[in-house]
Structure 1
Amino acid sequence: MTARAPKPDAISACIVIPVYNHERAIVDTLANVLPFSVPVILVNDGSNGDCSAVLERLADEHLGVHLMVLDVNQGKGAAVKAGLKRALELGYSHALQVDADGQHNLADIPTFLSAAAESPNMIICGVPEYDDSVPRLRHYARYLTHVWVWINTLSFAIKDSMCGFRVYPLAAICQQLAKSDTGNRMDFDTEILVHWLWAGGNIQNFSTKVHYPVDGVSHFLPGKDNWLISCMHARLFFGMLVRAPLWLVGLRKRGRAQ
């Protein structure tokens, strides 16, 4: 029996997958996505010739797969942003972001889309449940980002800002992207959620299993990406300081009203 994600009247969803030189992994990832009968937008982020050829073949072979090509590699964040904007142009109301490397539990696609249908104005965020495949250093280093996010939002609403398995309401998030200066690499996933929360948006968190393939290809550059993430946290911290007085006034008024 073919598994299918729900297609409620409330939303029209697609899946956005940014791809950069994942010519092996993307074949399996797409094969695991297609049985849910959800349209897919593959964003070729300036990949090499071998990967580009694979992506073209996949788009030709599958009617529900749309290929978008960025001529020059711009980073995961830029690829996701381009994919979200294209999804909105194509008439979709929501997009589920999925990484190309096969680490996400795609069996959770129906759960995430159902949650989006029930709460169409929220971002539905994955909260990773790691198995033994996760690199320990990377696993523990994530907590530093978690703490900074909690500080910069003065809340615990975002359980994990780095998981690339999430559903966006497209009209609202594209408006947010037009107003907010967000990073184009690995800093994007965190930064867009903080800006979303600052703007009054709501988030739902759902646990999802994450597995790191043994032969997986990571494009995280420790020096460059850690520097960009550090700069991002600094920007967000000063942004929080500007907003904090208004938040505190609002909390005090709500306390008096009660």
Structure 2
Amino acid sequence: MTPSKTHIVLIPSYNTGAKVFETVQAARSQWDPVWVVVDGSTDGTGEALLRMAENDSGLRVLVLPENQGKGSAVLHGLRQAEAQGFSHALTMDSDGQHPADLIRRFQRTSQDNPDALVLGVPVFAADAPRLRVGGRKISNWWANLETLWGGIGDSLFGFRVYPIAELRAAMEANHWMRRFDFDPEAAVRLCWKGLRPINVPAPVRYFRPEEGGVSHFNYYRDNALLTWMHTRLMLGFIARLPLLTWRRVKGSRLRSSPR
């Protein structure tokens, strides 16, 4: 497999146990290079991943000394990747829920549309937790309102490809987007910057604990975080409404003009 000089796979990981090894192996079978940011894990997976990387030139492991949150782990990886000349990063979770077999399709879509934001839209199986499936509809509605219905297919699904420079700049411009609020706020803020979302369906799988599934989602804490995030984004949306409206009108005129 020829290593990409522009696109990496970036996997933030925190205490997911053996699932992270399956995820990394699946990602490596599809792409080179793959980077893992170990976000202060205490389950021994960081050390094991470092040993894996010793025998795999396409795998790089970055270890943070303490848990800082998904967004912080991603930002750490983005800074390192940009410094090495990479322009885009596909992010995926380390718990095995995201479809590694679609990595190439997502990366090709990004390569063909380098100024776009390639968003995975989850396709749920019948056994997906109803509370999780139903709850994300609320966040999706708010995210689309905050972008003047800018076309965000799903605001919470973390399987997506970002232009690195734009995402890093958006994150460094504020001190939010560091934990569970990362995925939806990243999508909204990049749409504010004018990036066009391209939505691609992707199956998602939820593993039961007996299957090795690990979830750090806390219903009350994380929903409170999302509520505060959407409150902030709505204030930002109101301030940007004239610009978003102008872009929408301009785009409509361009699409309707004769060629």
Q: TM-score, normalised by structure 2?
A: 0.90
Give the aligned partner of residue 106 of structure 2: 112
- Equivalent position amino acid for 1:149 in 2: A
What do residues 80-131 of structure 1 show as CA deviations (whole Å, max 9, x unaligned)?
Answer: 1111221112221211101000011111111101101100111111000011
Cα distance in 1 between the residues matched to 2:127 and 2:215: 14
Give the aligned partner of residue 59 of structure 2: 65
Aligned counterparts, 1:96-135, within 5 A: 96-135=90-129
Cα distance in 2 between the residues matched to 1:30 and 1:69: 15
1:157 pairs, out of 151, 162, 168, with: 151
- Equivalent position amino acid for 1:229 in 2: L
What do residues 113-172 of structure 1 show as CA deviations (whole Å, max 9, x unaligned)?
Answer: 110110011111100001123111110000000111111111141010111101111123
Deviation at 1:247, TM superposition (A): 3.4
Give the aligned partner of residue 219 of structure 1: 216
Cα distance in 2 between the residues matched to 1:141 and 1:254: 32
Two-structure CA RMSD over aligned residues (Å): 2.2
Alignment size in residue pairs = 252
2:199 pairs, out of 199, 202, 205, with: 205
Deviation at 1:37, TM superposition (A): 3.8
Aligned counterparts, 1:28-177, within 5 A: 28-177=22-171
Cα distance in 2 between the residues matched to 1:54 and 1:231: 37
Q: TM-score, normalised by structure 1?
A: 0.90
Q: Say if 2:192 and 2:244, in contact at 8 Å, map to a contact too.
A: no
Cα distance in 2 between the residues matched to 1:256 and 1:169: 27
Deviates more, 1:28-37 or 1:225-234: 28-37
* Residue ranges of structure 2 left out of the alignment (5+ in a row): none
Q: Say if 2:146 and 2:188, in contact at 8 Å, map to a contact too.
A: yes
What do residues 164-210 of structure 1 show as CA deviations (whole Å, max 9, x unaligned)?
Answer: 10111112322332334432111110001111111112111100111
Give the aligned partner of residue 233 of structure 1: 230
Q: Say if 1:13 and 1:93, in contact at 8 Å, map to a contact too.
A: yes
Give the aligned partner of residue 245 of structure 1: 242
* Residue ranges of structure 1 left out of the alignment (5+ in a row): none
Cα distance in 2 between the residues matched to 1:203 and 1:5: 28
Q: Structure 1 pair 36/167, CA: closer, same or farther in 2 (3 Å)?
A: same
Q: Structure 1 pair 48/152, CA: closer, same or farther in 2 (3 Å)?
A: same
- Equivalent position amino acid for 2:231 in 1: A
Q: Structure 1 pair 254/189, CA: closer, same or farther in 2 (3 Å)?
A: closer
After TM superposition, the runs of 4+ consecutive aligned structure 1 residues lying more than 3 A away are 4-7, 245-258
- Equivalent position amino acid for 2:182 in 1: F
